[in-house]
Amino acid sequence: MNGMRAKDNSYKWLARMYPKYPLTFQSALFVRSDSLIKSIEDIKSTTTIALGDYNSASSFYMPTYDLYGKSTTVTAGHRSSKIRELVANKQADIGAVVYSTIKDDPQFRVIQISREIPGTGVYLSPKLSPTVQKQIQNILENAPKKIKEQANYDTGKEPDYKEFRTIALRADQVLSCANFSRNPVQFFCNATSQGILGRVAGFTNQGNGMIRLRLERENHKTCQVFVSSQTLNKITDGSSPEIVNRKQVKIIGVEPIELEDGTCQLTIENPTQLVVLQPGA
């Protein structure tokens, strides 16, 4: 996810991460080997699925795409090792991890393999001057082999994100409707999906790690959105107030407080409650 987002935000490709591994990888949904669940068609609203961090392509984003149309119970924000532990101990019925880490484990059985996910790389911010970019490029490219191995990077071709971008668009649309603060979670949109649509039109650092976003709603009213920098950092396409500023967003699972002056205010406590919409979403 980070590589595609970097490219979409005009970052410059520099090097490939994890050069010893294939250019692409896959996500997998898996169950215990003795589970009665044979495929994703067996998933019900009472089925519990363990997902990873909200920015993880393999353990959150791709499962969201593969679970389109389903309604299920979700526990999220886990590391891969924790996801395997939850499934092994029957605390979750299904888990989502990188396919290569689970395919040969006899205690588990894979029920769904995702499409190919492009690997990530090292990108340079467009805010850096050409001179500084060149200096960083020379340092990284000419670093000793041992340093490159320890940092898990080397020269290589930039991945093609074209197909994955199409998948990401559908996943973004699903995430704009899914409410992860309440189970079961619906991995689809319908006419009754609740949410607040608007455009971020400025922000203020409140101190103590809190940020206030000014949201211009579709009904032409404004709303003050309070969110911690820690939570904002976990939001796809919105990891900082500078990035989310001037973008269309959808807020779900949060009841705004309507004020006497016609504006409103609300607080984002979970990264899934604020979705940055892609163009055309």
The model's pLDDT over 45-56, given as tens digits with 9 standing for 90+, comes to 999 999 998 878
In a domain, 97, yes or no: yes
Q: Are 87 and 30 in contact (CB under 8 A)?
A: yes
Residue 196: which pLDDT band, with cuts at 50, 70 and 90?
confident
Which domain CATH number covers 219?
2.40.50.140
What are phi and psi for residue 20, nearest 5 degrees?
-80, -10
Omega of the bond leading into 184 within 30 degrees of 0 (cis): yes
Q: 225 is in which domain, residue-wise?
A: 196-276
* CATH number of the domain enclosing 141: 3.40.190.10
Exposed/middle/buried for 228, CB within 10 Å: 0-12, 13-18, 19+? middle
207, part of any domain: yes
- The mean-pLDDT minimum among 34-43, 123-132, 271-280 falls in 271-280
pTM (whole model) above 0.75 = no
pLDDT band at 190 (very low <50, low <70, confident <90, very high): low
My answer on whether 173 and 252 are in the same domain is: no
**Quick one: which of 216, 268, 265, 207 has its CA closest to 238?**
268
Is the pLDDT score of 192 beyond 50? no
What is the total count of domains within the chain? Answer: 2
pLDDT of 164 above 70: yes
